[in-house]
Amino acid sequence: MRLVMSLALTILAASVLGCDAKPPPATTEAEAQATQTNTAAVPATNPGQTQVVFLGTGTPLPDPDRAGPSTAVVVNGSAYLFDTGAGVVRRAMAAARNGIPALNSVNLKTAFLTHLHSDHTLGLPDLILTPWVMGRQEPLELYGPVGTAAMTKGIQAAWAEDIDRRLNDLQPSPAHGYQVNVHEIAPGVVLKDDNVTITAIPVPHGPWIAFGYKIDTADRSIVISGDTRPTPALAEACKQCDLLIMEVYTLGSTARVTPAWKAYREAYHVSTKEVAEIAKQSRPKLLVLYHRANPGCDQAGTDCRGTGSEAEALAEIKQFYDGPVIEAHDLDVR
């Protein structure tokens, strides 16, 4: 039974559309390794074992090898998604083809947003609509900061005509699979069910309301930073956790950006040295870098001379931290 300690708002597209579909009852509540590849995914041999699947490890840079940020935690055949970057549904289907059926599009029913920056949410319309078109019966359960409800309402309004035609024209479509139950969350436990206890961790990210997440299952403890400045809350949440999944930028690339971009990095993100300090304090079994940001180097007209790479990030981390560390790639499974 789910215990939701949050403020929930059910967004029903039927009311936006004025169509005849009957909505469900409203819910209310206030290392990079040389052998790693972009397509390798090895499912856990034990079906009950918790799997962490990196669906997208990218940034705003439109890198064809890295989809937008999204991480799936799969437990007992249920998938919990953290962020919905561009390409999330197709990466999920690739993971399903690689032997993780919980990530078939119709099984994508629960998602958590760290914050509402576009690179973390561009795949949200896809997650709302594509699984429904493919046959998802239930509304999407979506957890995120204040503003998630307004974003969802806007998405459904933008696709109002499409939803109306699919419901009321000749195409047979499930009655409720396009709907979204939005839970606008506060720090603390936001979901507890038979598989997971998920705790929202407030993190600093400029003026954004932003969260990292701790996911506790029967066999593993996982902490995902989202976008953040250094904060003791992440080290406190991890405390020798199995996986500490951290965003990062490199010191080498920061030395080549403009003063304005350096100020942005320092106000919004976390450097390799700062990630190493968090890892030293928390001592995870494995530190995993993802969402390696390179703002001020990726934009048009900039030239950082190849700095900000995976190799640079790992080399810098290892100057300050002696524990195991890797960088994740899309469709890696840990």
CB environment 126-153: b (16+ within 10 A), e (fewer): bbbbbbbbeebebbbbbbbbeebbebbb
Q: Which of 119, 216, 242, 330 is catalytic?
A: 119
Return the beta strands (E) in the chain as ranges.
Answer: 7-11, 51-56, 70-75, 78-82, 110-112, 140-144, 180-184, 188-192, 197-205, 208-216, 221-224, 243-248, 286-292, 325-327
- First-to-last CA distance in the chain? 27
CB environment 185-194: b (16+ within 10 A), e (fewer): beeebbbbee
In this structure, are residues 260 and 315 in contact, taking their beta carbons and an 8 Å threshold?
no
In this structure, are residues 69 and 113 in contact, taking their beta carbons and an 8 Å threshold?
no
Instruction: Taking each helix axis as running N to C, give the angle between helix 160-168 and helix 124-134, from 0 to 180 degrees, rounded to the nearest 10.
Output: 10
* Beta strands 110-112; 78-82: pairing state: parallel
CB environment 22-45: b (16+ within 10 A), e (fewer): eeeeeeebebbeeeeeeeebebbe
How far is 187 from 78, CA to CA, in rounded Å?
23
Active site residue 119: yes
How far is 31 from 14, CA to CA, in rounded Å?
47
By residue count, the chain amounts to 334
> Which residues neighbour 231 within 8 Å (Cβ) at sequence distance 6 or greater?
203, 204
Catalogue the active-site residues.
119
